[in-house]
Structure 1
Amino acid sequence: MTEGDRYTADPQRLDAHTRQIAKISSLANSLGDDFISRVTATAGWTGLHDDLAKDLVPRDMKERQQTASTADALTTAILSIVRGTEANLKSIVQNQQGNLDAIHDAAALATESGGSSGGKKR
């Protein structure tokens, strides 16, 4: 999040939210699988060999496939959000650690050289 002219991030909160999104992804996947299995159980409702079946079976199969594809796309999209958020979290943690290391190194260098003025007396 931005605070004025600086960027701040809380890795612990990001990690917690990433885990929540991952649970949502898992739930969406389970819901899609459950839906497909329940719809499959109704496959014969259109009949098999009569005129109504000749008209309805192709449309029913097409709708089932489209629904399954939509559920799969939704799960894939949510999983992509999880992966992207995990990558961002890793980048944030690495950047924060790099900055802390640079601050530590600069402080150590300043101490070794006689202070922040580079050893010059004021």
Structure 2
Amino acid sequence: MSIPPWLVLFLAISFSAQAVFSAEDNLSRYYEIAEQTCFDIGDIRREMDRVNREILKLMTERTAYVKRAGDLKSQTTKIADDRGRVKDQERKIIDLSLELELPLEISLPTFRELMETSIKFQQRHIDELLSQ
């Protein structure tokens, strides 16, 4: 499954406890900006490349926290998968998606893929720590 880069950015931000959104952080406002600043496909591609770079930086930051959680879990549960946590995060994604005017058919599948791949990454990390 291919995850749209701008949506990964949205998800990464949504996981941050420090994420604060203003009334202007929504699809309508960003679309308005795009209408005012992008006049051809080249403009769109440049902006998407810019957003992609930010998404990758945020994904890197998020992955560091996923890995650190694996460090801590290796000392206790030894299991990365926490379905209660996934369900809790999904509820937050739904609420924030609605607030941001982001269609759920985009945010939920992307969120689920991000969570599942993060769980697999974290479990591999835990397993590596336990095998040392």
TM range (shorter): 0.3 to 0.5
Q: TM-score, normalised by structure 2?
A: 0.32
Kindly name which structure, 1 or 2, has the bigger radius of gyration based on alpha carbons. Answer: 1
**Quick one: higher RCO (CA 8 Å, sep 6+), 1 or 2?**
2
TM-score computed with the length of structure 1 as normaliser: 0.34
